[in-house]
Amino acid sequence: MAVKTILSYPGASHILTAQSEAIQMNDPQIKEIIQDIKDTLYATPNGVGLAAPQIGYLKRIFVLNKDYIVKDLEENSLLLKSAGQMLVFINPKIIAEKGEVFEEEGCLSVPGEFINIKRAKQVRVRAYSEQGMQFYEKFKGLASRAIQQEIDHLNGLLILNHKKA
Ligand SMILES: [Zn+2]
């Protein structure tokens, strides 16, 4: 339970470019990983989202700070009603995408780089909550973009991988 150092490219590229493993919901380490991601994200100004590999855990979890993306959730969103500022996504998967949007994007693990990246405008995601409940939700705007970047992290991809040659 601690604020961790956010790993950055190129120093920690061996971790940041690795594939993260699916979580077993009975994994005794889950609680600690989630708390560390939350604590670190909370302590990071302008931190919209943070994925487990960014603090050294190669596990398929990421967290979004609800404060930045509340307007990008659906009206009847269960996440909107959930208590707490931090939204936890375990074993997340994008199951549908809609539209395209081209925008400048930065990443806490690639300091100083801002890259124009084409992303899906909206995504529908399936994931497990911190309580182990499966949920399906649609996201737009910054939430959609952040989720796509966080899932890239779980697959060992950075914003640099989207850079046009
Ligand atoms: Zn990132």
Q: How far is the CA of 132 from the centre of ligand 1 (A)?
A: 24
Which amino acid is residue 100, in one-letter code? E
Instruction: Answer whether residue 76 is part of any domain.
Output: yes
Q: How far is the CA of 136 from the centre of ligand 1 (A)?
A: 22
Each residue's pLDDT tens digit, 61-116: 999 999 999 999 988 888 888 878 999 999 999 999 999 999 999 999 999 999 99
Instruction: Answer whether residue 5 is part of any domain.
Output: no
Q: How far is the CA of 50 from the centre of ligand 1 (A)?
A: 7
Q: How far is the CA of 126 from the centre of ligand 1 (A)?
A: 20
- Tell me, yes or no, if 150 is annotated catalytic: yes
Residues spanned by the domain of 49? 13-162
Looking at the structure of the chain, the number of domains it has is 1
Instruction: Answer whether residue 2 is part of any domain.
Output: no
Instruction: Answer whether residue 1 is part of any domain.
Output: no
What tokens does 122 get? 């909206």
Instruction: Answer whether residue 52 is part of any domain.
Output: yes
Closest CA to 43 of 79, 105, 85, 89: 85
Dist. CA 138–CA 126, nearest whole Å: 9
What pTM was estimated for this model as a whole?
0.96
Instruction: Answer whether residue 3 is part of any domain.
Output: no
Closest CA to 92 of 158, 23, 139: 23
